[in-house]
Amino acid sequence: MLADAFAETLTNAVSNARNPQQAWQALLQPSDIVGIKFNRSAQVSLGTTPAMAATIVESLLSAGFAADRLVCIEAPEEVRTAFGTARPRPGYTDTVHDFGSGRDQLSAVLDQVTAVIDVPFLKTHNIAGITCALKNLSHGLVKHPARYHSNGCAPYIADIVALDPIRSKLRLCVVDGLRMVFTRGPSATAETIADEGIILASTDPVAIDAIALTLINNVRRSRRLPKIAETAENLKFLASAHRKGLGTAVAHGIDLVSLS
């Protein structure tokens, strides 16, 4: 069952947690308003978001967090209706944030929430190489994402995620790899989707993207497609995020626990 797999993955992602309730309580405060950031791109084709959203929301509810303090961002309306979660604040902040490689407004929902759970898909991307935890935040929480795609989205992804309204609130990344887009992403068709049944969880968005790259490369190899990049350090935006201190992209620095 998805709920059982998620519970085990979450528990193992948080040090010293014995169950999902302890994991959530280690990551979040009772006073937090929790934004759960999904990804609208290819959501219909992949078809896994309602099940994953329900699993995460139910897990949080069982840990004692109230539905009206949970904000599902880019989730189907049916999820909010089913659980009575708070509606995301629309629009963008008045403040224009300077992140070094650019300036932009951030999603107003960041002023609404005090903690963020990042729930990306596992997909290739025709410019960045892959899109997973980091890009779901950087390009999903700015007003003008199309401006930040040159040079493989580097250093834009790292610079935007490093902004305090994002980085200080990020608590956990949960990758929905139940169905993977292994080629021609970020859009998806029946021919570019593999049913992989993968869930990843980590507090390190760079490490989880590095593992995501390996998983995508494995599926591509089985289909006789070339690697997206030889290693995470060869992917421009991941190398940039590693240098910026957002996490580790170095394989020997990542502690991977595989659950079956």
Amino acid at 88: P
Instruction: Check residue 259 and give its pLDDT.
Output: 83
User: For the packed helices 20-27 and 2-13, what is the interaxial angle rounded to 10 degrees?
Assistant: 50
Residue 240 confidence (pLDDT) above 90: yes
pLDDT class of 237 with cuts at 50, 70, 90: very high
Average pLDDT over residues 158-179: 98
Its sign, for the CA torsion 247, 250, 252, 258, is positive
Instruction: Check residue 260 and give its pLDDT.
Output: 65
Where are the domains positioned within the chain? 2-253
**CATH code for the structural domain at 2-253:** 3.40.50
Phi/psi at 160 (5° precision): -70, -45
CA–CA dist 5, 8 (Å, integer): 5
Q: What is the DSSP letter of 243?
A: H
49 with 177: CB under 8 angstroms? no
Model pTM? Answer: 0.98
Instruction: Check residue 7 and give its pLDDT.
Output: 97
